[in-house]
Amino acid sequence: MKKLYFLAITVLSLMLTGCGKGGNGELVGAYNKKFKNTSIPMGMVYVPGGRNLIGMTDEDITFFKGKQSKMVSFNPFYMDQTEITNAEYRQFVNWVRDSIAITKGNIEEYFIKPKGNAQAGASTFKNIDWKKVGNGSNLWKNKKPEIQTKLKTMYIADNLSQFTHGRNDKDIDVRFLRYAYIAENLDLAMQNGANSERINNYDIYTDNPDLSKPNQHPSVMVYPDTLVWRKDFTYEYNDPMVEAYFNHPSYDKYPVVGVTWDQANAFCAWRTQFYENVARQRKLPKNSRLKYALPTEAEFEYAARGGRTQTKYPWGGPYIMNAKGCLQANFKVGRGNYVDDGALYTVEAKAYLPNDYGLYNMSGNVAEWTLDASNKALVEDKNPIYRKGRAKVVKGGSWKDVGYFLQNSVAAQEYQDVSRSYIGFRCVSHFPGNSLM
């Protein structure tokens, strides 16, 4: 009986071997783990792939220096429904604040996992036990005197930050809030060649960069420049906006401003890493994990058009008012009637009706950073982008712009290290495939 049992097991094993990996010496492929490709990330919408006319198609303005109309094709992607809000950007600021407090304050033994690296840096942040940190209260309100003593170096009493912690009502010097990260740079990878050392193909943003190396850069200061409300309008009384816009709960759902192109890119890198950490804990397949970036100029215009061709505005019509005489965006009306559209400055990110893709405020409210550098012509007819240059393309127009800048085809520009009270951003995540399955 034992011999028969052993013989059966042997035959079964041989059968499984013949039908398993490699088959009978035939090519059967090495497939990735399957996963459902139907879920849309929270707060984003699915923009289907397709093609549309990109560039000036609405009216020919004398001496216009914009791009000529061109049919362009696109892969599908996800896009944030709204501009990134103060509350969403504050989550980034708080994460950096708590991370630096742990590493800079030398209290790793309380909040770094035992297997973690005790040296400060981007790798250390992955090992922070965020369950202990929680929403920050376990860090900033901890009653252990030794922790409070070590955190004392982070406190500065006389700065403009509105962050307060504990009963002492002391603020953190926002100059400490810098984000160090590593981002893959495919331009460097092409320049260095396939056999180069991998670390040389990454942009490294660090507190102590070696500026002799082209891929090392200073870490990015993450706190928005709240003084833009004074800088942009010297002879206006905007002091209340300086003090309240980023911190008061009344503005939580309003778009963040005072953020440079570099800060917007750092936010995208953090958002990618933030999602990656959770996906790793849930053991999601690597090929299902999201990467966030700024939209290209062409992607922004394609999404703004909402699937309509040769339309002037995201809502499709040729007029800024609807049939009832209501304004459909937040901008500078007429010769300066700022309040006629419902607000003197910005409005909530979900104000007004969305376009046909479900995207809010693709025109007006705040203009938005794109990934492109400024250029005079579309260089490709599929997924175009132009990277070279520090003057970046800004799309959509803002609360302080006249109606002309609200057109789908119109763009402006700003230097990537400059922040404004009328420029914000939103993210995209590129879809791996041709359509939702």
8 Å CB contact between 35 and 420: no
pLDDT at residue number 120: 43
pLDDT tens across 331-343, in order? 999 878 888 888 9
pLDDT tens across 215-257, in order? 899 999 999 999 999 999 999 999 999 999 999 999 999 999 9
pLDDT at residue number 52: 93
8 Å CB contact between 400 and 411: no
pLDDT at residue number 49: 94
Report the pLDDT averaged over residues 323-337.
Answer: 87
pLDDT at residue number 76: 94
The candidate with the shortest Cα–Cα distance to 272, out of 287, 293, 288, is: 293
pLDDT at 155 exceeding the cut of 70: no
Report the pLDDT averaged over residues 142-151.
Answer: 65
Report the pLDDT averaged over residues 171-200.
Answer: 83
d(CA 264, CA 257): 10
pLDDT at residue number 59: 59
Judged by average pLDDT, the poorest of 44-48, 60-64, 201-205, 364-368 is 60-64
d(CA 379, CA 386): 7
Alpha-carbon separation of residue 161 from 66, 182, 242 (angstroms): 40, 27, 11
Q: Rounded mean pLDDT of the chain?
A: 82
Residue 169's pLDDT band (boundaries 50, 70, 90)? very low
Out of 146-150, 307-311, 395-399, give the one with best mean pLDDT. Answer: 395-399
pLDDT at 135 exceeding the cut of 70: no
Residue 165's pLDDT band (boundaries 50, 70, 90)? very low
Residue 382's pLDDT band (boundaries 50, 70, 90)? very high
d(CA 420, CA 394): 11
